[in-house]
Amino acid sequence: QSVLTQPPSVSGAPGQRVTISCTGSSSNIGAGYDVHWYQQLPGTAPKLLIYGNSNRPSGVPDRFSGSKSGTSASLAITGLQAEDEADYYCQSFDSSLGGSVFGGGTKLTVL
């Protein structure tokens, strides 16, 4: 059971928009700690996709965007492409744990 809750899977057709939710609690997201998102392609290491709730590292397309409100955060992907098919994870800091917490991961399928 992960501290941050994500849907196990989402899907969409090429060109469509999908969102992935990440729900936490008052000891992590709700406490004001930043949320970060990762994309993990099969057989590779996770790659930082969004940091500080809504910022994109250099090289990440602007089709990817993040937002945060209250105890939840969301990752939105517009203009879906086949190459976006991957696992996506959210991450934050938890004051009860004293360290990083991750969501269980969401598998994105591009139909």
Q: How far is the CB of 15 from another protein (least distance, A)?
A: 28
Nearer to another protein, 58 or 82 (CB): 58
**What's the one-letter identity of residue 81?**
Q
Place of tokens 């059971």: 1
Token digits of residue 108: 């994105």
Q: Is 89 near another protein (CB under 8 A)?
A: yes
Q: Is 79 near another protein (CB under 8 A)?
A: no
Pairing of strands 47-50, 36-40: antiparallel
Pairing of strands 106-110, 9-12: parallel
Q: How far is the CB of 87 from another protein (least distance, A)?
A: 8
Dihedral sign (CA 45, 36, 74, 97) = positive
Nearer to another protein, 84 or 94 (CB): 94
Q: Name the one range near another protein by CB under 8 A: 13-21, 42-50, 70-78.
A: 42-50
Nearer to another protein, 18 or 50 (CB): 50
